[in-house]
């Protein structure tokens, strides 16, 4: 059986443990009391045997022997709980006190040759009385019968009664103790586990709007500290993700709203009065441009959303990065020439990946670099393999340094170093985010540095050795 409740489980375990200990203790106590009484009874019996031995030692003549039962009776006056039986070595009954009958099995009239003292002790019941007795062979001073078999019994009713009461109260105490430890165990478990319910209460109160709440780690037991720390870390990550998501949503809404409101406004203005054909055409063209921007944003967003869910599975083929870069240079050739910028390439490298996606990633870096390079500048794309299994593609361009606080967020969606310049170019700020998604999907990483007038974007990709080498 699997216990669902930790409190119940702890209570049960605690209760079982304490009950086992209590029962063992009760057993030991009652057994040692019993042994103690046995010891007392043995001492008493041996004393009585000595008494009889003393009486018999005085019998020396036939007359005295004949008078023995009477003397024994006299000797036993005042000992109502004592029973004595005498028999001769050949088994004839010589004397028996009236209040006891000895069981034959343990007390034969004729004692075996080797059965001398100290004898074993037996316990039996006669009527309402419990007896404990022993038997011994005792020497006499009478010449006709040098030894006599003596059986002695004492009533142990008071011991038995005491033991019964004692055991009764002992086991009652144990049972109550067990019950009490069960209840106390339950209380202790509940109290001990309270930090967990506190934790639960805090966790229950956390919602998207209250993600800044944290668990108080310093007041928690050590066992729960690691859990609470992990929980807090999770909250921090969630808070960060939520913040990004909410920034992102407002950016996204802005990106969508701007072209939509442009289109609505220009359509309404155009329709507000009769216009020339040229004006209508202009309105439609302008609307088309806004649509184009919207469509591009949507498809970029879709790409990023798929990348977020790991759905961008690159088609794996062998790609010579130097060739790709060269082809991109050809693509950008006229463009950079017009801007008075030159392109240079160094090194080589081969990776496995998706050609289309990698081209797109590098192209974004290149267009970014071109946009931030003043005429006369040179953009350098270098391919290096610093270690055997990593290829680094770096795109360097001269230009004003990007303040360091912006660097970690450059790959965020819609992030712009200068918000005022936001719509001066065609892009909406998703290029670097897409580049990062592509590189991540290829198992690589992106980084950026910017100082001393050089901005350097680096993508590291897992290298593949050239086939056949």
Partner 1 sequence: MKILVVEDELKTGNYLQQGLTEAGFVVDLARNGVDGLHQARTESYDLVILDVMLPGLDGWGVLRAMREEGRSMPVLFLTAKGQVEDRVKGLEQGADDYLVKPFAFAELLARVRTLLRRGRVSEPEVLRVADIELDLLRRRVHRAGKRIDLTAKEFLLLELLMRRHDEVLPRSLIASQVWDMNFDSDTNVIEVAVRRLRAKIDDGYKVKLINTVRGMGYVLETPGPD
- Using CB under 8 A, list all residues that contact partner 1: 285, 288-289, 291-292, 294-296, 298-299, 302, 306, 311, 313, 327-328, 330-335, 338, 356, 359-360, 363, 367, 370-371, 425-428, 431
Toward partner 1, which CB reaches closer, 126 or 306? Answer: 306
Toward partner 1, which CB reaches closer, 81 or 423? Answer: 423
Give the number of other CB atoms < 10 A from CB of residue 72: 19
Q: Least distance in Å: CB of 433 to partner 1?
A: 13
Looking only at the bridges linking them, the beta strands covering 342-347 and 378-387 are: parallel
Toward partner 1, which CB reaches closer, 275 or 339? Answer: 339
Q: Least distance in Å: CB of 459 to partner 1?
A: 17
Q: Least distance in Å: CB of 428 to partner 1?
A: 8
Toward partner 1, which CB reaches closer, 246 or 315? Answer: 315
**Omega within 30 of 0 (cis) for the link into 118:** yes
Dihedral sign for Cα 401, 405, 408, 412, please: negative
Q: Least distance in Å: CB of 8 to partner 1?
A: 50
Looking only at the bridges linking them, the beta strands covering 129-139 and 93-96 are: unpaired
Toward partner 1, which CB reaches closer, 439 or 463? Answer: 439
Toward partner 1, which CB reaches closer, 44 or 327? Answer: 327
99, 151, 158, 248 from 128: Cα distances, Å: 12, 20, 12, 97
What is the distance between the alpha carbons of residues 84 and 76, in angstroms, rounded to a whole number? 9
Toward partner 1, which CB reaches closer, 58 or 254? Answer: 254
Q: Least distance in Å: CB of 285 to partner 1?
A: 4
Contact residues for 14 (Cβ-Cβ < 8 A; gap 6+): 181, 182, 185, 188, 189
C-alpha distance across the termini of the chain, in Å: 62
Toward partner 1, which CB reaches closer, 221 or 426? Answer: 426
Q: Least distance in Å: CB of 199 to partner 1?
A: 42
Q: Least distance in Å: CB of 363 to partner 1?
A: 6
CB 14 within 8 A of CB 181: yes
Q: Least distance in Å: CB of 311 to partner 1?
A: 7
């Amino acid at each position: 059986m699997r216990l669902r409740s930790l409190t119940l489980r702890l209570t049960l375990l605690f209760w079982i443990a304490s009950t086992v200990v209590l029962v063992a203790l009760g057993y030991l106590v009652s057994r040692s009391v019993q042994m103690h009484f046995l010891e007392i009874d043995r001492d008493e019996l041996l004393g009585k045997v000595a008494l009889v031995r003393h009486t018999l030692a005085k019998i020396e003549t036939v007359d005295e022997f004949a008078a023995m039962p009477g003397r024994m009776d006299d000797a036993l006056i005042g000992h109502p709980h004592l029973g004595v039986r005498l028999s001769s070595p050949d088994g004839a009954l010589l004397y028996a006190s009236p209040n006891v009958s000895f069981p034959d099995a343990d007390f034969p009239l004729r004692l075996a040759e080797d059965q001398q003292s100290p004898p074993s002790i037996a316990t039996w019941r006669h009527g309402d009385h419990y007896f404990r007795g022993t038997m011994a062979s005792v020497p006499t001073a009478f010449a006709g019968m040098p030894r006599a078999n003596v059986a002695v019994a004492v009533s142990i009713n008071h011991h038995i009664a005491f033991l019964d009461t004692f055991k009764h109260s002992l086991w009652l105490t144990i049972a109550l103790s067990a019950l009490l430890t069960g209840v106390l165990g339950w209380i202790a478990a509940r109290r001990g586990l309270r930090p967990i319910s506190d934790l639960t209460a805090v966790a229950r109160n956390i919602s998207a709007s209250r993600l800044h709440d944290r668990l108080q780690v310093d007041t928690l037991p050590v066992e729960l500290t690691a859990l609470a720390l992990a929980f807090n870390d999770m909250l921090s990550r969630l808070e960060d993700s939520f913040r990004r998501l909410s920034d992102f949503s407002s950016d996204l809404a802005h990106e969508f709203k701007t072209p939509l409101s442009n289109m609505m406004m220009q359509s309404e203005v155009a329709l507000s009065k009769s216009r020339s054909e040229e004006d209508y055409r202009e309105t439609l063209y302008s609307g088309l441009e806004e649509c184009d921007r919207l469509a591009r944003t949507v498809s970029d967003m879709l790409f990023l959303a798929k990348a977020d869910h790991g759905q961008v599975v690159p088609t794996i083929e062998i790609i010579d990065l130097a060739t790709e870069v060269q082809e991109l240079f050809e693509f950008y050739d006229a463009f950079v020439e017009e801007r008075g910028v030159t392109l240079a390439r160094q090194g080589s490298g081969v990776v496995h990946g998706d050609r289309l996606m990698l081209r797109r990633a590098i192209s974004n870096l290149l267009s970014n670099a071109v946009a931030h390079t003043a005429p006369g500048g040179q953009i350098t794309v270098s391919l290096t393999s610093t270690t055997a299994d990593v290829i680094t593609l770096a795109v360097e361009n001269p230009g004003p340094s990007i303040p360091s606080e912006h660097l970690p967020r450059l790959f965020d969606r819609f992030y712009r170093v200068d918000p005022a310049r936001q719509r001066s170019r065609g892009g909406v700020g998703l290029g670097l985010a897409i580049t990062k998604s592509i590189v991540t999907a290829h198992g690589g990483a992106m980084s950026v540095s910017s100082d001393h007038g050089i901005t350097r974007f680096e993508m590291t990709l897992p290298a593949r050795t050239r086939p056949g080498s």
